[in-house]
Structure 1
């Protein structure tokens, strides 16, 4: 079986690839792609795989955007971190899904479902309906945090956060005055809750507000260094592949 993985988080892609190999060593991973644009280019020039795993949200849009630009003939299994309502939408429309983090038992079930129905002809036709549901949900991005402090609660507005960073499994929101607040979410959860037109995850440790970026410096070998105000505790250097996606994100 030839499989394509479309997932912008490398650790998720590597984990999924390892689980697939554990289930069936004959599975061939054709490629791991990170964006809508990269996926469209791949489908234009490469032979269709037997099965594609797609993350719902990619750095440059929803994976459903792929279907509006290129004809995808293979079966698709989506991976997502959306809430129960969105997941029910997948089930009603008979598009299989895996909730992150992917569990090997559920992955096995999805593969069995695929094998018993190799190429459902209606998958592409259902993308508009499911995409509409998810887009409607995504309009309701988080606008604030309600955080505890001793005996009181206080709010932090998302628009005032310059960047988020994680250290020792603790996520902090850094404000324009360089104050930081601990927020009870992982970086993956924040990516699902924040407007992707405003926030971009430049590395595994940092999620930046575009308004806080003051300079982008060419590093070496196609990498980029990002400077923010206030400055980050560590130097932010993006990988070459991530830098390409970042530049497309900025130049929209």
Structure 2
């Protein structure tokens, strides 16, 4: 079975590849794509695989935007951190899904479904219906965290968060008073839980609050550098793919 993975998080790609090999040693991952632009170009230039594993949030936007530009000749399995409401929408549309973190048993069942499924109906119509369903949902974003602290717990208000960063030691909330608070969540999970009106995932290491920005500098012909008010020495770069989304987020 030939597989294309559309995912911009390298740890997730590595995990999926490993599980695919364990589930079926004959599986071949023929491409890993991490942007809408790259995905559209690839599918226009190559024969379609047996199945596509597609994350919803990728480097330059939502992968839903691929569908008006590509008519898929193969099944699509979404890999999503969305909640049960969205999951029901996938089911209604006869599209399969895997909730993150992906488990081997779920991946096995999804691939078995692919092997036995009939040709998919018109994908563009399905995606329009899915987006309509998702747009009707009222989303509630996180307002606070309860964090273990020694033998007690402390409550952190989202309003006190300056930015979030990920390093080899894990994920950390940086508060406006300069303190760092470790949390047992990935940046991807936090991206789903924090209000996108005020928080933006600028790269694979950082989520920043709009009020944390002191200035924005041109870093190269295609990248930007964000200077943070309370951590001016931190290297926060925005890739070429993210720059349009970042500008749109700020200019509202």
Per the shorter chain, which TM-score range?
Answer: 0.7 to 0.9
- In structure 2, do the counterparts of structure 1 residues 18 and 195 end up closer, same or farther at CA, with 3 Å as the change threshold? same
- Alpha-carbon contact 1:49-1:74 (below 8 Å) kept: yes
Task: Say whether residues 1:228 and 2:228 are aligned partners.
Answer: yes
- In structure 2, do the counterparts of structure 1 residues 118 and 30 end up closer, same or farther at CA, with 3 Å as the change threshold? farther
Task: Say whether residues 1:43 and 2:39 are aligned partners.
Answer: no
| Structure 1: gaps (5+ residues) | none
- Alpha-carbon contact 1:3-1:29 (below 8 Å) kept: yes
Q: Partners of 2:55 and 2:80 in 1: how far apart?
A: 6
TM-score (norm 2): 0.79
Offset at 1:203? 4.3
Q: SS in structure 1 opposite 2:241? A: helix
TM-score (norm 1): 0.79
Aligned residues: 244
Which residue in the other structure is 2:25 paired with? Answer: 25
Query: Cα RMSD between the aligned structures?
Result: 3.2
| Structure 2: gaps (5+ residues) | none
Offset at 1:86? 1.7
Q: Partners of 2:200 and 2:39 in 1: how far apart?
A: 19
Which residue in the other structure is 2:144 paired with? Answer: 145
Which residue in the other structure is 2:216 paired with? Answer: 215
Q: Partners of 1:24 and 1:8 in 2: how far apart?
A: 23
Q: Structure 2 matches for 1:14-163, cutoff 5 A?
A: 14-117=14-117, 119-137=119-137, 140=139, 142=141, 144-145=143-144, 147=146, 156-158=157-159, 161-163=161-163
Task: Say whether residues 1:171 and 2:167 are aligned partners.
Answer: no
Q: Partners of 2:145 and 2:36 in 1: how far apart?
A: 34
Q: Partners of 1:14 and 1:118 in 2: how far apart?
A: 29
Q: SS in structure 2 opposite 1:64? A: helix
Which residue in the other structure is 1:247 paired with? Answer: 243
Q: Partners of 2:73 and 2:198 in 1: how far apart?
A: 33
